[in-house]
Amino acid sequence: MMEDGGPSFPPLLSGEATDGDPFALAVARAKEGTDAGLITHRVRPDRLAAAVVLAPETPLRDALAMVLAAMNGFADAFGALSPSEVACQFVWPGGIRINGARCGSFRAAASTTNPANEPDWLVIGFEVPFFAEADAEPGDNPEETTLWDEGCSEIEPLRLLESWSRHLLVWIHEWEETGMSRLHEDWLGRAFTMGEDTAVTLGGRSHEGTMLGLDEAGGLLLKTGTGTELVPLTEILEEV
């Protein structure tokens, strides 16, 4: 579906532009009962932000596979548009790394936080910077980067959004047909800290250890000094 002057989305998806926060708008629309498949978006030359409303008919613990689907879809879309030498990796649960530096992130919210309950709606959003703000100096924060800084100046925010929407549907279909296996495998293939010491702070709690991988529901497995710790993917959910 194409808005006037806006992005073109594949069938089953629709769009709504905003000058505000697409994630907050998607949550509001979901609470109002909008149909699944709505993509809210803010497309600017320097930054792309978008969110999708989903209505998975499965318990939350399984529905959160859609977070991995959205992230894998982003990596595939980015890979199709970026120079081949530019690496896109992920930090659990939602961090994006481009050539090793932080470059945007994913977030999620749902109508419930109980893993056993079927959510009425699930919203997954992301934001990625294309170039730094005018008053930012190169090297101000070496841990942060932008797509332009990593040689991706030819990528247009609108095209990345459109490509992500198509790849998102591909991964959702893959999950519906074959389950978690390929989602899991593909995400782990892009994990930035696989087999390395990592620290994650969520909800005011810090989790530290060596990343062993993901469990069958996408939760983080850490080897700690006392054994193996599981941090469930539900920890990504924001209070709304």
CATH number for 205: 2.30.30.100
130 and 40 in a common domain: yes
54 and 24 in a common domain: yes
d(CA 202, CA 19): 28
Is 209 a member of any domain?
yes
End residue of a domain, out of 188, 209, 226: 188
207 and 122 in a common domain: no
Is 4 a member of any domain?
no
Total domains present in the chain: 2
- What count of other Cβ atoms lies within 10 Å of the Cβ of residue 96? 24
204 and 137 in a common domain: no
Is 54 a member of any domain?
yes
SS3 label, residue 53:
strand
For the ranges 112-126, 194-208, 219-233, the lowest mean pLDDT is seen at: 194-208
pLDDT class of 218 with cuts at 50, 70, 90? very high
178 and 77 in a common domain: yes
CA torsion sign for 115, 41, 154, 168 is positive
Q: Is residue 1's pLDDT more than 60?
A: no
Tens digit of each residue's pLDDT (9 = 90 or more) over 111-141: 999 999 999 999 999 999 999 876 556 556 7
Q: What is the mean pLDDT of the chain?
A: 94
pLDDT class of 167 with cuts at 50, 70, 90? very high
Q: Yes or no: say if 129 and 46 are a contact pair by the CB < 8 Å rule.
A: yes
217 and 119 in a common domain: no
Q: Is the pTM of this model over 0.85?
A: yes
For the ranges 2-11, 28-37, 79-88, 194-203, the lowest mean pLDDT is seen at: 2-11
**What pLDDT, on a 0 to 100 scale, did the predictor assign at position 77?**
98
Closest listed residue to residue 158, CA positions, set 47, 54, 52:
47
215 and 139 in a common domain: no
37 and 151 in a common domain: yes
Alpha helices in the chain (DSSP H): 22-32, 60-63, 65-81, 157-178, 181-188
Closest listed residue to residue 27, CA positions, set 87, 108, 101, 82:
108
Tens digit of each residue's pLDDT (9 = 90 or more) over 38-87: 999 999 999 999 999 999 999 999 999 999 999 999 999 999 999 999 99
Q: What is the CATH number of the domain that holds 81?
A: 3.30.930.10
Task: With both helix axes pointing from N to C terminus, report the angle between 181-188 and 65-81 in degrees, rounded to the nearest 10.
Answer: 50
Torsion of CA 238, 106, 168, 187, to 10 degrees: -110
- Say if strands 205-214 and 95-98 run parallel, antiparallel, or are unpaired: unpaired
162 and 86 in a common domain: yes
Domain containing 202 equals 197-236
